[in-house]
A and B are shown apart, each in its own frame.
Chain A
Amino acid sequence: MSGTSGGSRNRSVRFAATAGLIVALVAVAAGCGGGSNKSSGGGGGTTSSGSSVSGSVKFWGIWSAQEQKAVQKVIAGFNQKYPNVTVTYTSKGDNIPTILATAIAGGSPPDVADVAQPGLVKQLVQQGHLKPMTYAKSTIGANFSPAWANLGTINGKLYALLFKASNKSTLWYNVPVFKQAGVSAPKTWSQLLSAASTIKASGTPAYSLCGASGWTLTDIFENIYLRMWGSTKYNDLSAHKIKWTDPSVTKALQFMAKIVGDPSNITGGASGALQTDYPTCVDKAFANPAGGAMVVQGDFVGLEILQATKAKANTGFNVTPFPTITPGADASAVETGGDLIVTFKDNPAIEAFVKYLATPQAAEIWAKLGGFGTGNKNVPASIYPDAITKTTEAPLLGAKSVVFDMSDNQPAAFGATTGQGEWGIFQKFLQKPSSITSIEQQLESSASKAYKSGK
């Protein structure tokens, strides 16, 4: 199982992680009125047209186990409004890209699917397999800021709804190590660097990197680039409108070299980090004695800490937003990933279901159960069950500046193949952080090749 695909496995780890974190935290928090009473879901009233729609929807997704139960509850909520529509959800697990590809080749795709790779969505649109969801535009517009609607817009048409979102712009830290070193959670880039050097002097390496999993390195780069240059440039780079040899990339890599450039401040040194995969680096950082002080990764880290280590929330570990770099509108821009709802067919039942998923009611059903983030601005932050989840997921609610994980958004040959393309080249960068020029050239040549053949 751990030998399966790089891309989809890592993705699934992330989402499963986000999911379980909150579930676990809810369990820990106990007492916080957790009842499965979802009748409070409000928003009844307008069911007049609901029963006139009938039909069935074949829905494939990656969610299994706890997440599958949660999505069934969301479907139950939908059925209260539309009793005559039957939604059949089937969990296809991590391999959904491959399963979809073969289903399409065999001529029997589902009606609705959830896909974690925006790059795949784009590819499916280009191949003409997806139907635009123009009918849901007003519902999405009413509940999400334009930045979120843009995430699902391809060639000017709306094709996808980011139903379940994760926040990849977070930084997890070991509280006792921070205390021992006498530093507090960094808010800005310079605070991060000075905290890191103080932590090093205190005798613990500041960064626990998961270099064997290439995507963890690109995630760090992407956060730096996003907070340094803002979302417009970020999107241009991810669409390859800016070349990888651009001075903006050089500067971002120079900043990143401040993290990966000092092997004595990395758990196990650079070569040790390159053999440490995700989530082993998390286990190391939050072990006792601590192998490192910080893990610069998204919200999915929380569950791993709770499951694999003895560290407790707030006293053992904590989370803070990725430090700001350039002040301004995009100083706290968020990098997100998540599950995109796409449609292969079009009929009133499918339309009703997609529209329902864009409502705050649908999001709240799952958010209450845990393991769920959303950009829906009409969902109150108070829905999240604990402080850690609030820190990680609240920045998403109505976030005005939000972008996709860059490597997810690029052709897979460049952005999502184990040991190759972007993942492989950033591993070379960790090995030799002084070779920025050569790294940029390799990135550029690999990117231009992938963009050419992707067409």
Chain B
Amino acid sequence: MEPLPGAAPPQPSEEGLSRYLAGTFFLLPAIVLLGIWLLYPTVYTVVRSFFGQSGYLGSWVGIDNYRTLFTTSTLVTAIKNNAIWVGVVPAFVTALGLIFAVLTERVRWAVAFKTVVFLPMAISAFATGVTWRFMYLQDPSQGAVNALGRSVHEAFSSPGVLSNALPSTTSLQNHGGALVLKTPLHPGGVAILGLTGIAPQDMPSGAKQAVKPAPKSGDVEGVVWRDFKPGGGKPGVVEQGEQGIPGVTVELRDSSGKVVQTTKTDADGSFDFSGVAAGTYNTGIGASTFAKPFGGYSWLGPKLITPALLIAYIWIWAGFAMVVIAAGLSAMPRDVLEAARTDGATELQVFRRVTVPLLAPVLSVVFITMIINVLKVFDIVIALAPDSVQSNANVIALAMWRTAFSGNNDFGAGSAIAVFLFLLVIPVLALNIQRFRREV
């Protein structure tokens, strides 16, 4: 530790020496603590990274651990993901923070707005991760994000009444969502349209024992029923104990596939197309019956997990950026803005040519802080990403912890990852320190 410039004369007099000693004495606790808690672990980690899994004795592996770092697919994914994080988050957070800060200057409820935007900072990243994980759940009845998607989706198309139903035999085939009986029928024929995969609680109310209608000349008749009874029953046969499905829209299609008549089934599942002209027809159940409800996006799946994480992380940190930038904004000389406006600059021009350049030092502090934060990101990934996609969502800090402590207990490789992360952070830190020096 260097003594303060004023406290160290070139040739220490008696008095100067004692002041020097006093300074050292007061610094001693800090030096000891830093030595024990920072310096020693750092050195130990660097040394440990050149040894294998089993410890010091006879397990010198040289730079093998570092080689693993760049050849193991999960670690490479982690490095790539960290690059994405660094590329996206600082820029977005700074930009959003700037926009919020500038806009809140002009709204009435600025304090309330700022509080709301800043609030996520008050929540631990872990809790945020857990919360967002619930919000991202795929099932729209559980995940808020997909619930929003469902209400938008349902504004345009509503799900069918039997969206889970399946044909009970292969004689029913899928035609663009509709289930159509393969064998063509002539007037006087009877269509047997059996469905399974319908849970009892999903059956329309008022269903009665299914009845297979007797053929009637000039009519095409049939039955739609839940072709299931405990034990399974015989597929394709209307049996005692199997219920008709009422209210299903049945279509009669001519040989070209055009729908010529539609009707609805009765309580016993039967239906009747009367006055059918001679010819061959196909009967089927309309596609709208089976329209699937909005299934939700797989936010927590392997493809969307990193974007999902980025959104949650930006949501947390935008408030921080806003507060810091707003502070810079309030310290800005107003007369410069006024002068620009008097000279006829538009608001956009003022923003771009005056506000942003004057705020540049603050913006770069936010930007650099975010780069460091993002390089070390860990907690939100482990809390938000389900185990099945953690290798897709992996980041360096998480990979380090997984290798060193979770299952593997490979302190050697774990240390190597830690050293690598340390090396990545150092240049950014150096930049930051340089800035502080310049400002002081």
Which residues of A pack against B, CB within 8 Å? 2-8, 97-98, 101, 104-105, 120, 126-127, 179-183, 197-198, 200-204, 211-214, 264, 268, 271-272, 274-275, 277, 289, 412-413, 416-420, 423-424, 427, 453-454
A435 to B163, CA, bound (A): 29
Chain B interface main SS type: loop
Least Cβ–Cβ distance between A294 and chain B, in angstroms = 16
Inside 8 A of B166's CB, which chain A residues have their CB? Answer: 201, 264
Q: A101-B409, A413-B410 are in contact. Are A275 and B388 (CB under 8 A)?
A: yes
Least Cβ–Cβ distance between B305 and chain A, in angstroms = 10
Contact partner, A418, options B202, B227, B402, Cβ 8 Å: B402
Least Cβ–Cβ distance between B380 and chain A, in angstroms = 10
Inside 8 A of A268's CB, which chain B residues have their CB? Answer: 138-139
The 10 closest A-B pairs by CB, nearest first: A182-B230, A203-B199, A182-B231, A419-B391, A5-B406, A7-B407, A201-B196, A412-B407, A419-B390, A212-B386
Interface residues on B, range: 35 or more
Residue of B nearest to A181 (CB): B230
A412 near B409 (CB under 8 angstroms)? yes
B411 near A101 (CB under 8 angstroms)? yes
Least Cβ–Cβ distance between B194 and chain A, in angstroms = 10
| A-B contacts, 20 listed (Cβ < 8 Å) | A3-B383, A6-B406, A6-B407, A101-B411, A127-B55, A182-B230, A182-B231, A201-B166, A201-B227, A202-B196, A203-B200, A204-B199, A211-B388, A213-B387, A412-B409, A413-B408, A413-B410, A417-B402, A419-B394, A427-B388
15 further A-B pairs in the complex, CB-CB below 8 A; given A182-B230, A419-B391? A2-B130, A3-B379, A5-B406, A6-B387, A97-B407, A182-B229, A198-B232, A200-B196, A201-B232, A202-B228, A203-B197, A203-B199, A264-B197, A413-B407, A417-B408
Interface residue B131 (Cβ < 8 Å from any Cβ of A): no
Inside 8 A of B139's CB, which chain A residues have their CB? Answer: 268, 272
Q: A101-B411, A182-B231, A419-B391 are in contact. Are A275 and B301 (CB under 8 A)?
A: yes
Inside 8 A of B382's CB, which chain A residues have their CB? Answer: 3
Residue of B nearest to A119 (CB): B407
Interface residue B389 (Cβ < 8 Å from any Cβ of A): yes
A201 to B200, CA, bound (A): 11
A453 to B379, CA, bound (A): 29
A204 to B390, CA, bound (A): 30
Inside 8 A of A120's CB, which chain B residues have their CB? Answer: 409
B388 near A214 (CB under 8 angstroms)? yes
Contact partner, B298, options A4, A214, A275, Cβ 8 Å: A275
Inside 8 A of A5's CB, which chain B residues have their CB? Answer: 405-407
A182 to B202, CA, bound (A): 18
A2 to B166, CA, bound (A): 39
Interface residue B198 (Cβ < 8 Å from any Cβ of A): yes
Interface residue B201 (Cβ < 8 Å from any Cβ of A): yes
A2 to B379, CA, bound (A): 11
Residue of A nearest to B379 (CB): A3
A98 near B228 (CB under 8 angstroms)? no
Least Cβ–Cβ distance between A366 and chain B, in angstroms = 28
B197 near A418 (CB under 8 angstroms)? no
A275 to B196, CA, bound (A): 27
A182 near B232 (CB under 8 angstroms)? yes
B298 near A271 (CB under 8 angstroms)? yes
Least Cβ–Cβ distance between A123 and chain B, in angstroms = 8
B230 near A98 (CB under 8 angstroms)? no
Interface residue B283 (Cβ < 8 Å from any Cβ of A): no
Q: Mark B310-343, 1 if CB is under 8 A from A, else 0.
A: 0000000000000000000000000000000000
